[in-house]
Structure 1
Amino acid sequence: MKPIAPIAAALTLALAACSGEADAPSDGADVDPAGVEAPMYMPVVIPSRFQGVWDYVEGACLPESDLRMEIGSDEILFYESMGKLTGIELEGENSIVLMLAMEGEGERWEQKLRLAFGEDGKTLMPQFFDGDRVYDPMPRQRCN
């Protein structure tokens, strides 16, 4: 009877050679300490359908309107403050919750804001959160 170990070793080497894949040297930049590839960076961005200039539905979309909002890809400009996007929760196609680092009138604070479209699909219904308190949304129209 022939020993199996030398045959098994020869088969293993033959299979490894046939795979055609060589292990490329790695500088470790794309691998975390646990040996798992690090995820690619995905920027936090407000979906484009929410972006634009919005004002109260009875407003005139003038820059001096105190309910005007300019929503960009990663920030929102309000009348006397601005919020930099720090996080986003997608609630559905027509509703998102934003976490904003706010700054205005010499102060800084964190703000949570839900943006949802009304039943007509055109009216934006921003809803601000203050701790456990949720404020009624004030409908906004898109300005042209």
Structure 2
Amino acid sequence: MDWTTVVSSNADSGFAHGNIAEDFFSIVHGTVFTTAPTAAKLAVDTSLWGYEQIRRRKYYFLDRKKLLKRILRTTNIALFQKKKESNFKSGAYVEGVFCNVGTRAAWVGCIGKGSMYELRTNGERRIFGFINEETHNEQDALGRGRYS
């Protein structure tokens, strides 16, 4: 399932793009308004490509944490390279959540203001990531540095 939506709130505005497959999903939000739709789509497409290609190597598939780390790094490099194009001088940065779901565990990577919650009938519980009461480093986004 592939989707795009416009996000607008008091805290943030921009475009969010996501894709949910059977055992991997990524949901990202572009942070620079002029390049947000393209950056979000590029990040999701690169992360899905990375999941399909990188997991073929036994080394990464056996250690899902390294697999997720490699996917995040590949996505970061793709976004960082986008700055070389004239339309993206202001940058192509994203914040969001990447998740690889196994049979008994899930590996989650949150970038920037991305968070993941477990929702139940008796309330919600934050699993990982940023909440509004915490201080947030504005430089924490994929695409800002080559080896972030």
Range class of TM-score, shorter chain = under 0.3
TM-score, normalisation: structure 1: 0.24
Higher helix share: 2
TM-score, normalisation: structure 2: 0.23
Identify which of structures 1 and 2 has the higher relative contact order when contacts are C-alpha pairs closer than 8 Å and 6+ apart. Answer: 2
